[in-house]
């Protein structure tokens, strides 16, 4: 919530900077907002996975027995874990390349948003693994 409030303040200050009085002095504040939004998005995904609040289509849930539904959800958790594994594996390669690239007008490298993506995907994978263990084997972490 604090990071979101900071993003809103920076965006509002850009409005003041553009139309009234210079605040940022030529610094591209929108680049900082973009990086913060990437971090917010991926960390939010991880928190949503942990809370079980991710978007899903559940119109068949009422028509399938609970035991079958538990196995279907466990299967989809495994599929999501596999997809996250590929994303994390590829993001390591992306991180290596992005450390050599800077975001124009800032002193940040492109690795900073990639780190947000990697951290968010790692949190999602941990939440999915815990949920899979709970659903498939009854193990609570």
Tell me the pLDDT tens digit for each residue of 89-123: 999 999 999 999 999 888 899 999 999 999 999 99
Give the integer Cα–Cα distance in Å for 90 and 21: 43
Question: What is the pTM (predicted TM-score) of this model?
Answer: 0.82
Tell me the pLDDT tens digit for each residue of 18-45: 888 888 887 788 888 999 999 999 999 9
Write the CA distances from 140 to 44, 121, 126, 134, integer angstroms: 22, 21, 13, 5
Q: Look at residues 80, 79, 76 and name the one whose alpha carbon lies nearest to residue 121.
A: 80
62 φ, ψ to 5°? Answer: -75, -20
Residue 83 pLDDT > 80, yes or no? Answer: yes
Contact 87, 121 (CB under 8 A): yes
Write the CA distances from 81 to 43, 71, 141, integer angstroms: 16, 15, 17
Domain coordinates of the chain in residue numbers?
Answer: 2-55+64-137
Task: Please state the separation of Cα 8 from the chain's center in Å.
Answer: 19
109 φ, ψ to 5°? Answer: -95, 165
- 109 three-class SS: strand
């Amino acid at each position: 919530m604090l990071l979101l409030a900071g993003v809103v303040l920076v965006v509002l200050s850009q409005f003041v900077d553009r139309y009234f009085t210079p605040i940022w002095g030529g610094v591209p504040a929108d680049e900082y907002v973009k990086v913060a939004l990437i971090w917010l998005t991926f960390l939010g995904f991880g928190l949503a996975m942990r809370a079980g609040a991710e978007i899903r289509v559940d119109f068949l849930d009422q028509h399938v027995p609970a035991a079958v539904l538990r196995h279907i959800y466990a299967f989809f958790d495994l599929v999501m874990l596999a997809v996250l594994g590929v994303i994390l594996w590829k993001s390591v390669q992306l991180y290596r390349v992005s450390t050599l690239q800077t975001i124009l007008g800032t002193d940040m490298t492109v690795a900073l948003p990639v780190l947000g993506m990697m951290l968010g995907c790692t949190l999602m994978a941990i939440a999915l693994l815990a949920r899979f263990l709970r659903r498939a084997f009854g193990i609570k972490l």
